[in-house]
C-alpha cells in the first residue's frame, strides 16, 4: 500500500509531461502538398557583402590552405568580398539535407539526390542566375536539369560532376572488368571482397545494370522504378550482398580497404581512385559498358540565409574558370566550365575526367531523388519514392 | 502522539529559519516534497521526458517527398518495426552480439579481477587497476580504427599467423569485447575485494579444494558484481553503432539502423521506433536482475 502511494505523484507527473508533449504535437498538415516547391522568390540584385558566409559542402570543395598551403581559394574570396567563410563539410547527401534543414547555412553544394528534397522542403530558394556572372560559361548540358530546375525556376549554379565508376585491384582482378556484371552476376569470383556504396541511392546502380541486361523489366530511368522494378533491383542487390565484404560511405575508409586488399572490386568516386593511386595501391577505374550512376552538384542558397549577398558572391567565385579549375583538380572531378580546362595545372585533366565529352556524360545517370511521380514520364503507374528505397536498403543489408 | 515532542523555542535569534524547520518537522509531506523535488525534476526532465518524446516521435511520420517530420499520428512505424522480418533479424543479431560480448568479457574479467584483488601484492594492485583503466583514456574511435587495422587483410592478426575473421560480425564481437572489458573488470574487482580473505582460509581449513571454494564461497558473493558488469557490457553493446560501421563489414545492428534513419534517411520517427527495441530489452533485463541485488553494485 505504502508503495502505491509513493509511486502515485510520480505517475501523475509522468502523465502531465506526456500530456504537455502531446499538446505540442498537433498536426499542422502543411507538409502535405507533394511535388511542388514552396513559393519563394529569388534576389533581384546583389548588394554589399554582409561580412560572413557559412558554407555547407562536400569535403574538398572549400579549401583555405589549412589542409594544403598550395590549395586555397577561400582566402582570395575573403579578400575580394570581405565575406569571412565558415565551412562545414558533410559526408553524405542525406546528412547535407538534415544539416541544411537547421537553417544555419547560407550556401550548400547539393548533389542531385539531395537538391530536390531541399527545394521541396523550402530549405533553398530560387537563384537569379543573371546575377551570377560566371553562370554563362558553364557547360549547357549541366544547366536546367531535373535536379537543379523545377517548373522552369532555377535553383542554383552547377558545379563539377563525375561518375560512380568501377574500381578494381589490377593485380588481383583479371581479366580487367568492363561491365558491372563483375559486381552483380559474377560477384562470386571475388566473393567477400566486393564493395558497394552504402546508401539507398545505390539501388540505382542495380537498376542501371538491369536496364541493360533485363530489358523485359522496362526500366528507362534508374530513378523511376515502379514496385516491380524496385523488387527486381532489390533481388539483385540481395544476391550481391552474399559477396560484399563491406559497404562504404566514407571514401577514405574505402581507399584503405582497397589498399589492404580487403576489397578488390566495387564502385568508387574518381577521387577515391586518385587517393589510392597516390598511396601506391595498384587500382584502376573503368566506366563500364552499361553506363553508370553519377553525381552533378549544384551550389544552392539557403532560404533562411541572412547573408544572401555574400552567397551570390560565393556562387560567382566558385564557378569562375580559375577557381573551378583548382577545385576540380583538387577534388578529382570534371569542371563545370570549359574555360577552366585551359587553367588546370595538369593539362590533361579535362581529358582524364571527360569534361565536355557529351557522349561520356550521356552514359551517366546523375543522382536524382526518387519521387512518386515517375520522372521518366510514365503516368499509368506510381513510382517508389526515397523512403521506400531507404526501407528496401535496410532490407537488402539484412 | 499525545505528548508534544516539539523542541522548545530556545534560540530567539533566527525566528524565520526556526519557523521553517518547525514547519517541515510538523508537515511530513512537505518535508518529503522538499527532499524529492530536485531528484524528481531531474528524473522527469532528463529521463522520462526524453523517453516520452521518443515514444511520441515514433508515432509520427515523415513526409516522403520533403523528408520533414509531419505530426500526424500513426502506429505504422511501431507495426513495421515489430512485424517486419528485417527488424526482427537485426534485433536478434544485436542481441546475439550483446550476449556474446558479455560472455567473452565475463570469461576474461573473472581471472583478471581475481588476480588483481587476491593474488597481486598490494603495491602491484594499484598499478594493475591503473593499467585496466588506461584504455578508457583513449578515444573510442581510435580503438575501433586500431581494430580495423588489426583485422584487415594482411593486418597484424594475419601477420602473427592467426586467421583474421575479416570485417564481420565476429570482428564486431572482438572489438566490442575489447572496448567494454574495463567496465566488466572493475565491478568484479570490487566484488572480489569485498570477499574477506578469512572466509577463504576458513573454507580451506574446513577441507574445501580451491575449486569448491570458488564455486561454493566466492561465486555466490560475486554474482551481484558480475551481473553489475553484464549490465554495462550488455547495454553498451545494444546501443553501439560505431564499431559495427568500422569493423562490421556488412553487419547491421539496431544502432546502425537508428543512425542510418536519423543521419541518412532523415526518418526520425522510424529511428525512434527502432530505438525503443533496445530500451525494452534492457528494461526487461533490469527487471530480471533486480532481485539479485546487482543494481546496488552499479
CATH code of residue B266: 1.10.3720.10
- Is B123 in the same domain as B34? no
Q: How confident is the model at residue A155 (pLDDT cuts 50, 70, 90)?
A: very high
A10 CB within 8 Å of a chain B CB: yes
* Residues of chain A contacting residue B84, judged by C-beta atoms under 8 Å apart: 395
- Is B137 in the same domain as B22? no
* Residues of chain B contacting residue A398, judged by C-beta atoms under 8 Å apart: 86, 89-90, 250, 252
Q: Which of residues 14-53 of A touch B (CB under 8 A)?
A: 14, 17-18, 21-22, 25-29, 31-32, 34-35
Question: Per the domain annotation, does A3 fall within a domain?
Answer: no
A90 CB within 8 Å of a chain B CB: no
| Interface mutation target, options B33, B55, B66, B153, chain A, most CBs of A under 10 Å | B66
The gap between the terminal CA atoms of chain A, to the nearest Å, is 49
- Give A197 to chain B, closest Cα distance, Å: 11
Question: Per the domain annotation, does A282 fall within a domain?
Answer: yes
Question: Per the domain annotation, does B269 fall within a domain?
Answer: yes
A192: helix, strand or coil: coil
- Is A314 in the same domain as A274? no
Q: How confident is the model at residue A277 (pLDDT cuts 50, 70, 90)?
A: confident
Question: Per the domain annotation, does B8 fall within a domain?
Answer: no
Task: Give the residue from A90, A92, A89, A97 showing the smallest Cα distance to A124.
Answer: A97
- Is A144 in the same domain as A222? no
With the CA atoms of A184, A186, A191 and A195 taken in that order, what torsion angle do they form, in degrees rounded to the nearest 10?
A: -30
pLDDT averaged over consecutive 10-residue blocks of chain B (298 residues)? Answer: 48 67 83 84 84 87 72 87 91 96 96 91 92 91 92 86 88 96 94 89 90 87 90 94 91 90 77 92 89 67
Question: Per the domain annotation, does B138 fall within a domain?
Answer: yes
Cβ of A18 within 8 Å of Cβ of B52? The answer is yes
Question: Per the domain annotation, does B259 fall within a domain?
Answer: yes
Taking residues A230-239, what's their average pLDDT?
96
A362: helix, strand or coil: helix
Whole-number pLDDT of residue B65:
64
C-alpha cell at A91: 559526408
Question: Per the domain annotation, does B121 fall within a domain?
Answer: yes
Statement: residue A39 has pLDDT above 80: no
Return mean pLDDT, chain A: 86
Whole-number pLDDT of residue B153:
82
Whole-number pLDDT of residue A2:
40
Cβ of B70 within 8 Å of Cβ of A395? The answer is no
- Give A338 to chain B, closest Cα distance, Å: 34
- Is B26 in the same domain as B83? no
Rounded Cα distance between A352 and A362, Å, is 16
Taking residues A107-121, what's their average pLDDT?
89
Whole-number pLDDT of residue A313:
94
- Is A223 in the same domain as A320? no
Total number of domains in chain B: 2
Whole-number pLDDT of residue B215:
87
B165 CB within 8 Å of a chain A CB: no
Taking residues A23-37, what's their average pLDDT?
41
What angle separates helix B49-58 from helix B268-289, to the nearest 10 degrees?
130
Give the CATH number for residue A239.
3.40.190.10
- Is A184 in the same domain as A236? yes
Cβ of A98 within 8 Å of Cβ of B261? The answer is no
- Is B107 in the same domain as B48? no
Question: Per the domain annotation, does A364 fall within a domain?
Answer: no
Statement: residue A26 has pLDDT above 70: no
Whole-number pLDDT of residue A55:
95
- Rounded to the nearest 5°, which phi and psi values hold at B250? -105, 5
C-alpha cell at A228: 516491380
Taking residues A107-127, what's their average pLDDT?
90
- Is B184 in the same domain as B103? yes
Q: Beta-carbon neighbour count of residue B77 at 10 Å?
A: 24
Whole-number pLDDT of residue A4:
40
- Is B181 in the same domain as B245? yes
Question: Per the domain annotation, does B31 fall within a domain?
Answer: yes
Statement: residue A34 has pLDDT above 50: no
Range from A83-87, A176-180, A214-218, B267-271 carrying the lowest mean pLDDT: B267-271
- Is A205 in the same domain as A283? yes
Whole-number pLDDT of residue A19:
44
Total number of domains in chain A: 2
Query: Which residue is closest to A263 within chain B, CA to CA?
Result: B153
- Is A97 in the same domain as A140? yes
- Is B37 in the same domain as B117? no
CA angle A49, A53, A59 (to 5 degrees): 145
C-alpha cell at B18: 526556526
- Give A247 to chain B, closest Cα distance, Å: 6
What angle separates helix B49-58 from helix A2-24, to the nearest 10 degrees?
50
Question: Per the domain annotation, does A365 fall within a domain?
Answer: no
Q: Could you list the residue range(s) of the whole structural domain that residue B224 is in?
A: 78-297
Whole-number pLDDT of residue B23:
83
Question: Per the domain annotation, does A227 fall within a domain?
Answer: yes
Whole-number pLDDT of residue A102:
86
Q: Could you list the residue range(s) of the whole structural domain that residue A54 is in?
A: 12-161+294-356
Q: How confident is the model at residue A356 (pLDDT cuts 50, 70, 90)?
A: confident
Question: Per the domain annotation, does B66 fall within a domain?
Answer: no
Question: Per the domain annotation, does B2 fall within a domain?
Answer: no
Whole-number pLDDT of residue B267:
81
Cβ of A390 within 8 Å of Cβ of B40? The answer is no
* Residues of chain B contacting residue A396, judged by C-beta atoms under 8 Å apart: none
Q: Are A343 and A360 in contact (CB under 8 A)?
A: no
Question: Per the domain annotation, does A286 fall within a domain?
Answer: yes
The ipTM assigned to this model is 0.72
- Is B291 in the same domain as B235? yes
Statement: residue A9 has pLDDT above 60: no
- Is A385 in the same domain as A251? yes
- Is B258 in the same domain as B132? yes
- Is A94 in the same domain as A19? yes
Amino acid at each position: 500500500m505504502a508503495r502505491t502511494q509513493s509511486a502515485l505523484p510520480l505517475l501523475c507527473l509522468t502523465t502531465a509531461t506526456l500530456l504537455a508533449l502531446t499538446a505540442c504535437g498537433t498536426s499542422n498538415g502543411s507538409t502535405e502538398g507533394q511535388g511542388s516547391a514552396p513559393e519563394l522568390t529569388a534576389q533581384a540584385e546583389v548588394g554589399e557583402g554582409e561580412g560572413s558566409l557559412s558554407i555547407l559542402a562536400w569535403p574538398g570543395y572549400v579549401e583555405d590552405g589549412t589542409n594544403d598551403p598550395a590549395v586555397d581559394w577561400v582566402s582570395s574570396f575573403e579578400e575580394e568580398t570581405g565575406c569571412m567563410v565558415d565551412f562545414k563539410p558533410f559526408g553524405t547527401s542525406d546528412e547535407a539535407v538534415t544539416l541544411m534543414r537547421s537553417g544555419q547555412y547560407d550556401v550548400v553544394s547539393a548533389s542531385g539526390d539531395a537538391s530536390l528534397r531541399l527545394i521541396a522542403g523550402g530549405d533553398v530558394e530560387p537563384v537569379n542566375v543573371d546575377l551570377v556572372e560566371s553562370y554563362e560559361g558553364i557547360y549547357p548540358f549541366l544547366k536546367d536539369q531535373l535536379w537543379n530546375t523545377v517548373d522552369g525556376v532555377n535553383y542554383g549554379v552547377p558545379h563539377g560532376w563525375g561518375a560512380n565508376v568501377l574500381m578494381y585491384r589490377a593485380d588481383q582482378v583479371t581479366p580487367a572488368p568492363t561491365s558491372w556484371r563483375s559486381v552483380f552476376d559474377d560477384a562470386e569470383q571475388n566473393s567477400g571482397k566486393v564493395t558497394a556504396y552504402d546508401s539507398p541511392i545505390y539501388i540505382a546502380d542495380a537498376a542501371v545494370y538491369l536496364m541493360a541486361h533485363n530489358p523485359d523489366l522496362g526500366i528507362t530511368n534508374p530513378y523511376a522504378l515502379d514496385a516491380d522494378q524496385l523488387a527486381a533491383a532489390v533481388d539483385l542487390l540481395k544476391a550481391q550482398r552474399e559477396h560484399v565484404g563491406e559497404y562504404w560511405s566514407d571514401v577514405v575508409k574505402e581507399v584503405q580497404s582497397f589498399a589492404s586488399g580487403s576489397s578488390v572490386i566495387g564502385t568508387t568516386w574518381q577521387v577515391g581512385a586518385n587517393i589510392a593511386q597516390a598511396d601506391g595501391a595498384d587500382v584502376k577505374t573503368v566506366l563500364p559498358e552499361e553506363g553508370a550512376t553519377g553525381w552533378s552538384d549544384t551550389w544552392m542558397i539557403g532560404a533562411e540565409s541572412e547573408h544572401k549577398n555574400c552567397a551570390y558572391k560565393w556562387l560567382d567565385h566558385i564557378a569562375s574558370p580559375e577557381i573551378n579549375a583548382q577545385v576540380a583538380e583538387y577534388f578529382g572531378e570534371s569542371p563545370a566550365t570549359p574555360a577552366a580546362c585551359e587553367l588546370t595545372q595538369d593539362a590533361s585533366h579535362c581529358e582524364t575526367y571527360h569534361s565536355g565529352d557529351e557522349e561520356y556524360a550521356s552514359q551517366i545517370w546523375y543522382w536524382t531523388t526518387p519521387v512518386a511521380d515517375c520522372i521518366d514520364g510514365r503516368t499509368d503507374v506510381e513510382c517508389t519514392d526515397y523512403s521506400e528505397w531507404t526501407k528496401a536498403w535496410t532490407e537488402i543489408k539484412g | 502522539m499525545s505528548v508534544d515532542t516539539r523542541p522548545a523555542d530556545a534560540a530567539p535569534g533566527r525566528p524565520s529559519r526556526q519557523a521553517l524547520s518547525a514547519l517541515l518537522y510538523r508537515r511530513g509531506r512537505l518535508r518529503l516534497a522538499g527532499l524529492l523535488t530536485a531528484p524528481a525534476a531531474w528524473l522527469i526532465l532528463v529521463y522520462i521526458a526524453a523517453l516520452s518524446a521518443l515514444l511520441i516521435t515514433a508515432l509520427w511520420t515523415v513526409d516522403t517527398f520533403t523528408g520533414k517530420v509531419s505530426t500526424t499520428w500513426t502506429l505504422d512505424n511501431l507495426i513495421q518495426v515489430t512485424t517486419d522480418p528485417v527488424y526482427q533479424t537485426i534485433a536478434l543479431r544485436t542481441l546475439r552480439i550483446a550476449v556474446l560480448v558479455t560472455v567473452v568479457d565475463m570469461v576474461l574479467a573473472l581471472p583478471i579481477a581475481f588476480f588483481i584483488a587476491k593474488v597481486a601484492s598490494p603495491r602491484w594492485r594499484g598499478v594493475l587497476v591503473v593499467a585496466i583503466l588506461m584504455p578508457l583514456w583513449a578515444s573510442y574511435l581510435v580503438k575501433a580504427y586500431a581494430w580495423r587495422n588489426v583485422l584487415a587483410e594482411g593486418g597484424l592478426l594475419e601477420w602473427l599467423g592467426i586467421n583474421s575473421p575479416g570485417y564481420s560480425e565476429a570482428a564486431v564481437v572482438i572489438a566490442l569485447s575489447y572496448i567494454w572489458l574495463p567496465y566488466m573488470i572493475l565491478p568484479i574487482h570490487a566484488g572480489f575485494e569485498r570477499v574477506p580473505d578469512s572466509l577463504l582460509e576458513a573454507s580451506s581449513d574446513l577441507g574445501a579444494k580451491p575449486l569448491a571454494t570458488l564455486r561454493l564461497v566466492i561465486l555466490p558473493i560475486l554474482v551481484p558484481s558480475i551481473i553489475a558488469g553484464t549490465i554495462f557490457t550488455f547495454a553498451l553493446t545494444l546501443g553501439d553503432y560505431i564499431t559495427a560501421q568500422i569493423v562490421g563489414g556488412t553487419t547491421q545492428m539496431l544502432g546502425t539502423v537508428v543512425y542510418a534513419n536519423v543521419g541518412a534517411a532523415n526518418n526520425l520517427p522510424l529511428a525512434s521506433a527502432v530505438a525503443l527495441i533496445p530500451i525494452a530489452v534492457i528494461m526487461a533485463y533490469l527487471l530480471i536482475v533486480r532481485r539479485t541485488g546487482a543494481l546496488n553494485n552499479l
